[in-house]
Amino acid sequence: MSNTIFDKSLPLAIGSDHAGFEYKAHVIDTLKAAGWQVADKGTYSLDSVDYPDFAHPVATMVEEGKAGVGILICGSGNGVCMTANKHHGIRAALCWNEELASLSRQHNNANVLCIPARFVPLAIAEKMVDVFLSTPFEGGRHEKRVEKI
């Protein structure tokens, strides 16, 4: 994984539903190998679950400053993204390629990456995580737009 622009002294919060469980497990292994502290908020199996039960704890950790960044994974990515964006200060971005992951950071200062496991190959998901964690917010003309959120 590339160098991060996020503070590694705080954990990265990650969660998924059953559709994202296998991707989450792989991403966690990759993150830990890169020196990240990871707060795994579940799920912990392939058994069918409700995505808000895992998206809310991830968003809460980021919202409260207990995690520097979050990653959420579900089948379409939509459910976890909608749930996370209900939290104050959360800018969750649904991404399905590296360019969107980069732009979500550059232009929107996204702090939660949402991945649609059923529509993105694992190799692309890994690259999106890497890009998301290493792309800085550009600020400038984007700053006032983000402040309006």
Give catalytic residue positions: 74, 107
Task: Give the separation between CA 101 and CA 112, rounded to whole angstroms.
Answer: 10
72 within 8 A of 27, measured Cβ to Cβ: no
Tokens representing 29 are 């292994």
> Which has the closest alpha carbon to 73: 32, 131, 125, 38?
125
